Amino acid sequence: MNILLWLAYKGTDYAGFQVQPNGVTVCETLQNAMEAVLGCRPDVKGCSRTDAGVHARRFALNFHYDGRVPAEKLVPALNAHLPPAIRVLEARPAAEAFHARYAAHAKTYRYYLLNARVDDPFTFDTCHRVAGHLDEAAMQAAADALVGRHDFLALCASGSSAAAHGDTVRTITACTVQRRGDRVCITVTADGYLYNMVRILAGTLVQVGLGKLSAGDIPGILASRDRRRAGPTLPAKGLVLENVLYEEETNS
């Protein structure tokens, strides 16, 4: 039986989703809970490898198992074996061939900014603070210039495998900047992302918000394919994977 599982997690204390040698990951923590509940340790296919410190409000993954524990019992059973920073939101049977990574046709990320002179103790782990005033209208104009099918090599961390293979064209279908009081958030939906792309995109929009770059600079930055022309990579802690979009036929 192939199961689609939706997770939410606060990534502060994890070395990302994917199992890796240094640091505890979300995936191995989940596999420990699976072992306790299912008596086996399924191979987990995550929708994405989130970096250390990045969070997820809706992260999808799938795994195959013998179905001994019914899908509807998985949510409370796994949550009973997981720390509060990781919660299973939903579990349901998926088509046998469904793969959480390959079937995803778009993902939405949000970068959370606090535009204030003092940090907020309640969102310190989930927001990046910018002290200088951010002009959110200028940021939205720059965001508009990023929407579409482009070569995003300028917004890609150097040394990525996609860059080495010349596979750096992606399509951003939506990019919005919203302010509510001293909170500014950048929401991006794309068919795929290059390494650190959202954190560099957010860093570039912040430069625009501070008046150090303008919306008119964006096309030239993209055309340059030069990482040094874009803004800085903002910290992982402000980044949240908000949702993953699948076709309807995801269902079994």
Active site residues: 51
Restricting to residues 172-231, which ones interact with a copy of itself according to CB under 8 A? none
- 7: helix, strand or coil: strand
Q: Is 247 in the site for a copy of itself (CB under 8 A)?
A: no
Contact with a copy of itself (CB under 8 A) among 64, 81, 87, 92: 87
Task: Give the chain's length.
Answer: 252
- Contact segment (CB under 8 A) with a copy of itself among 87-95, 132-140, 144-152, 156-164 equals 87-95
Contact with a copy of itself (CB under 8 A) among 35, 66, 72, 119: 119
Q: Which of 29-36's residues contact partners 24+ apart within 8 Å by CB, and which partners?
A: 29/82, 29/83, 29/86, 30/61, 30/78, 30/82, 30/86, 32/81, 33/78, 33/81, 33/82, 34/63, 34/78, 36/81
How far lies 119's CA from each of 122, 128, 130, 131, 183, in Å?
Answer: 9, 9, 9, 9, 12
| Minimum separation from the CB atom of position 9 to a copy of itself (A) | 5
How many residues touch a copy of itself under the rule CB under 8 A: the total is: 20
Restricting to residues 44-83, which ones interact with a copy of itself according to CB under 8 A? 55, 57, 75, 79
- Name the residues that contact a copy of itself, by CB under 8 A: 8-10, 55, 57, 75, 79, 84-89, 118-122, 124, 126
